[in-house]
């Protein structure tokens, strides 16, 4: 005769049974929130996205030029793809054109930003179109620009995200690339989180920021846009303090952003300084460097998407649209916003250049910055070997510093000789 099962269970045993059942059946997770996975039907992998961009360049060599820049530091290796657009590639060095430098994917988890870079490139070369923009007007605007684009600044961090660490924003060795620049570097707020904001051991300690700084030095952009996700915003400097620059040019730039917000964000976007609008101060950011040190007239941070309803642990959902309708809406709205910004900025830059002649002294950078940026650009363009480049930079630095030292010594000797001669003349005069 079989034993009858006793259904009178204690509360502790009942809870244990329920938890075990939930784990086996996968219906409930009592210890961690659900996490939205990467939608592989919408998002390219980093490799396939780069292949798409390479194919675009191959199909349109008259307008696009691609270079892959490598760098390493203490065994940490980085490769960064840079795509340059010009309607006539023979005019790529035409200094009369306005120059735009765009960076996408600086934080690994913000996949949607690199998808936007691919969409913008496709529109630039005419494989996709903006529905509400006149093609002839767009062509006239683009005729005045050279656009240099970094589709995925933080490739190593992106690889970590694709491997399953969906909340990783830092680079491949744990440094936040948007805290590794020199303006107000290293300052930590009370809510500082090293996982989110590790600034590195020094400004420009990371190969990624070194490459971006060299691009800035060699290219000398008039417009810089650092593209992120996490909210919807059109930010101008500053990130490290709760203020925007003073003066008429800054007021005109803010008005331009407010027009973009009205036309393309439907007034959803926050407009103003990052430090005054995002809810916290950020130190050592790329945009503050571009404005304060590199003297880029228009330096922006665009935040193109954010889902504040999701859990802070559900990073893919927070930073990236996961359904087709929202995904296409973000790409359509923000590609239109970029081309509207190009159109508006030509007028603003014309006004700025007609009123202000920037002295050359204001554009001075360090000798190392200049040589690194200039020679890297020439190396990438003409295909010289990296070893030759590094040796050449070392030689030039050495000779330049010797020249400066000898010039100072000669000037000192000359001044000393003049002073001594005067003393002799004065002492030989009769009283």
Catalytic center residues: 303
Q: In Å, how far are 179, 210, 227, 381, 395 from 69, measured between CA atoms?
A: 21, 11, 20, 11, 21
For residue 254, is the peptide bond before it cis, meaning its omega torsion is within 30 degrees of 0? Answer: no
Question: Whats the size of the chain, residue-wise?
Answer: 431
Reported as half-sphere exposure (CB side, CA atoms, 13 A), residue 35 has a value of: 13
Cα separation of 262 and 234, whole Å? 11
First to last CA, the chain: 141
Q: Is the distance from CB of 268 to CB of 194 less than 8 angstroms? A: no
CA-CA distance, 127 to 49, in Å (whole number)?
16
User: E strand or H helix at 84, and its extent?
Assistant: strand 76-85
Strand partners for 101: 148, 224
Question: 110 with 303: CB under 8 angstroms?
Answer: no
3-state secondary structure of 160: helix
CA distance 102 to 349: 17
206 by DSSP, 3-state: which?
coil
CA distance 182 to 154: 18
Taking CA atoms, 394 is separated from 372, 400, 406, in Å, by 10, 10, 18
- Phi-psi category of 74—alpha, beta or left, where left has phi over 0 and alpha has psi -120 to 50? left
Place of tokens 């935040």: 303
Q: Which of 98, 146, 100 is nearest to 299 (CA)?
A: 100
Sign for the CA dihedral angle at 307, 45, 108, 174 comes to positive
C-alpha angle 274/278/280, rounded to 5°?
A: 95
Pair 137, 195: CB distance under 8 Å? no
Which two structure tokens, joined as six digits, stand for 96? 């009369």
Find how far residue 326's CA is from the centre of its chain: 24
């Amino acid at each position: 005769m079989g034993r009858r099962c006793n259904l009178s269970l204690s509360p502790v045993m009942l809870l244990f049974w329920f938890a075990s059942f939930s784990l086996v059946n996968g219906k409930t997770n009592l210890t961690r929130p659900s996490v939205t996975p990467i939608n592989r039907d919408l998002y390219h992998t980093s490799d396939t996205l780069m292949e798409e961009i390479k194919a675009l360049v191959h199909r349109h060599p008259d307008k696009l030029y691609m270079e892959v820049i490598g760098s390493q530091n203490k065994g940490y290796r980085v490769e960064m793809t840079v795509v340059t657009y010009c309607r006539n590639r023979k005019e790529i060095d035409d200094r009369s054109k306005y120059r735009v430098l765009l960076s996408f994917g600086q934080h690994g988890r913000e996949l949607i930003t690199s998808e936007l870079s691919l969409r913008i490139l496709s529109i630039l070369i005419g494989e996709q179109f903006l529905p509400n923009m006149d093609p002839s007007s767009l062509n006239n605007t683009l005729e005045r620009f050279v656009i240099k684009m970094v589709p995925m600044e933080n490739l190593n961090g992106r690889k970590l995200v694709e491997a399953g660490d969906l909340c990783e924003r830092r680079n491949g060795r744990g440094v936040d690339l948007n805290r590794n620049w020199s303006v107000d570097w290293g300052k930590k707020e009370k809510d500082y989180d090293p996982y989110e904001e590790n600034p590195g051991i020094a400004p420009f300690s990371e190969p990624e920021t070194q490459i971006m700084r060299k691009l800035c030095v060699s290219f000398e952009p008039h417009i810089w846009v650092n593209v992120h996700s996490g909210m919807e915003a059109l930010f101008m400097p500053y990130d490290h303090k709760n203020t925007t620059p003073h003066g008429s040019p800054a007021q005109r730039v803010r008005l331009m952003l407010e027009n973009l917000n009205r036309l393309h964000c439907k007034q959803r976007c926050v407009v103003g300084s990052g430090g005054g609008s995002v809810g916290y101060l950020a130190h050592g950011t790329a945009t503050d460097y571009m404005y304060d040190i590199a003297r880029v007239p228009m330096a922006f941070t665009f935040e193109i998407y954010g889902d504040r309803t999701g859990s802070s642990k559900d990073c893919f959902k927070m930073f990236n649209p996961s359904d087709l309708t929202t995904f296409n809406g973000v790409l359509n709205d923000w590609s239109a916003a970029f081309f509207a910004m190009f159109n508006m900025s030509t007028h603003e830059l014309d006004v700025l250049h007609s009123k202000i002649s920037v002295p050359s002294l204001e554009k001075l950078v360090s000798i190392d910055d200049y040589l690194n940026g200039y020679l890297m650009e020439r190396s990438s363009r003409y295909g010289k070997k990296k070893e030759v480049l590094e040796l050449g930079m070392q030689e030039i630095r050495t000779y330049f510093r010797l020249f400066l030292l000898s010039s100072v010594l000669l000037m000192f000797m000359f001044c000393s000789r003049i002073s001594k001669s005067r003393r002799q003349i004065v002492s030989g005069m009769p009283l």
